[in-house]
Chains A and B, each alone.
Chain A
Amino acid sequence: MATPLEIIASGMARSARFNNQQLALADELVDVVRRQVRAAFAVAARINPFYYLSEETVAFDTDHWPWPDDVEAFVRLEITATGTEVVVVPFDDRQAETVRAAVYARGAQFRSAGNPLDPTSGDLTMFYTPRPVDPATGSDPIDARFPEAYLDLFYNDIALYLAVKTGRADDIATFTTERDRWLMLYIAHLEHVLGVVEVRRKQLVRRFAANTLVSVYTGAA
């Protein structure tokens, strides 16, 4: 998988205007890559939460189950011993589901909702969309779970970041368009990767207006 420095090099190659200029420090651009990879995972949490699905077995701690450190969005909870699904009920309506095992969320913890079927100890298996593993340095690869075919997304992010720094409106417009094009392709991939084969009896059909997801990626949501 590509490293941030490789992504930065590819991004800088997008415009001759970036050459031979001290536009940004390497660490600064490595941080840009880290942020954009996180954003790409956040988009996946919204569109296809199963794409990067992680699993962690969490032990009960005094009165709660702590969340895994890298949670972006929970997908499913189970009682580890039995595989029974555990639903999450709102903090202010803990009896929202009394015929299935339930917990409620409070400060990065899950706690028993207090109804007869609810778990009060033991392990919970948590399935969730994770945040990516950040590369420690510019020479370490980005999270290998990101599909390599869409790295152009990050190249154009770097180019757009540098264009903003140079203040050239034509470059900004060019790289915004180019970045959004690759973002649309990435979103489309997340959306239709199972679109033909997956059967859904209920829940969401998950057809998104991709333009609305751009704001999730750019942080404007």
Chain B
Amino acid sequence: MSTALEVIETARDRHRAFNARQHPNGTLLRLLSQYHRTLVGRTLMANGAHFLTEQIIPMPFDPWADGVELISPLAILRPSLTYRTGGRPGELRLIPPSTSIDPKPVWAGWVEGGRLFLAGEPSAWQAVDQITITYTQIPAPLTTLGQSLLLSPMADEAMSLHLAHLMANRGNQETDVEGPDEDRFLDDWQNAERQYLESLLLETRSEITFWREDY
């Protein structure tokens, strides 16, 4: 993974006017942090399993009624459970909060306000050893230059060109350096982002899937 500073330095390399005096690292880091989050969202739309975090919740938890906090969940992909006897895996069904489904699935829960709640009483879950939630986290904001980015290096081009585009928009006050071409950097950035998102399709190309055919 690249660091924030590496992406910022690559963006600066694109034009002589992109110096740290006109465009401080702190400013670029804040802008990169926002775009990083945006691009994570777009990445997940292309491939929902691009980056996943596992949170293992030992059972039972206490207090039961408060649920368990999931750490910055953005998109939950796969909830599962492990039985106490034999360590066999099982399926946890997520149902909508305040559902009218009745009877509920045997192992059911819901996510509300970033917390996982399990249906029923703790006594009903004695057979379950732990619950595993596989999900994508909301990326933490970038606050230091040495922080690693969540996205793969494939996204570096789009991120550095995004910063270059923003620096071009911020203007140039150096009198002996020709100003950057704003339209050019806008086009380059948009092309790089599209190419990155298209490259994500390669990740899922070999997956077996089902599709509906209309006759």
Q: A204-B174, A208-B176 are in contact. Are A97 and B13 (CB under 8 A)?
A: no
Give which listed residue, A98, A201, A205, A207, contacts B26 with CB less than 8 A: A98
CB closest residue in chain A, given B143: A99
Q: How far is the CA of A95 from the CA of B24 in the complex (A)?
A: 10
Check if B144 is an interface residue, CB within 8 A of chain A: yes
Q: A201-B13, A202-B12, A205-B16 are in contact. Are A99 and B25 (CB under 8 A)?
A: yes
The number of chain A residues touching the other chain, given as a range, is 10 to 19
Check if B177 is an interface residue, CB within 8 A of chain A: yes
Binary CB contact string for chain B from 17 to 43 against chain A (1 if under 8 A, 0 otherwise): 011110011110100000000000000
CB closest residue in chain A, given B28: A99
Q: How far is the CA of A162 from the CA of B187 in the complex (A)?
A: 62
Does A96 lie within 8 Å of B13, measured CB to CB? no
Q: A99-B144, A99-B145, A207-B176 are in contact. Are A202 and B18 (CB under 8 A)?
A: yes
Tell me whether chain A's interface is mostly helix, strand or loop, or mixed: loop
Chain B residues, CB < 8 A from A97: 24-27
Size of chain B's interface in residues, with CB distance under 8 A?
18
Chain B residues, CB < 8 A from A20: none
CB closest residue in chain A, given B178: A205
Does A204 lie within 8 Å of B13, measured CB to CB? no
Shortest distance in angstroms between A213's beta carbon and chain B's nearest beta carbon?
12
Q: How far is the CA of A95 from the CA of B27 in the complex (A)?
A: 10
Does A200 lie within 8 Å of B16, measured CB to CB? yes
Shortest distance in angstroms between A190's beta carbon and chain B's nearest beta carbon?
15
Other 12 A-B pairs with CB < 8 A, given A87-B24, A99-B29, A99-B144? A95-B26, A99-B143, A99-B145, A100-B24, A100-B25, A100-B145, A201-B12, A202-B18, A203-B16, A203-B19, A204-B19, A204-B174
A–B Cβ pairs within 8 angstroms, 23 of them: A87-B24, A96-B26, A96-B27, A97-B25, A97-B26, A98-B26, A99-B143, A99-B144, A99-B145, A100-B24, A100-B25, A200-B16, A201-B13, A202-B12, A202-B19, A203-B16, A203-B19, A203-B21, A204-B16, A204-B174, A204-B176, A205-B176, A206-B176
**Interface residues, chain B, with chain A CB atoms under 8 Å away:** 12-13, 16, 18-21, 24-27, 29, 143-145, 174, 176-177
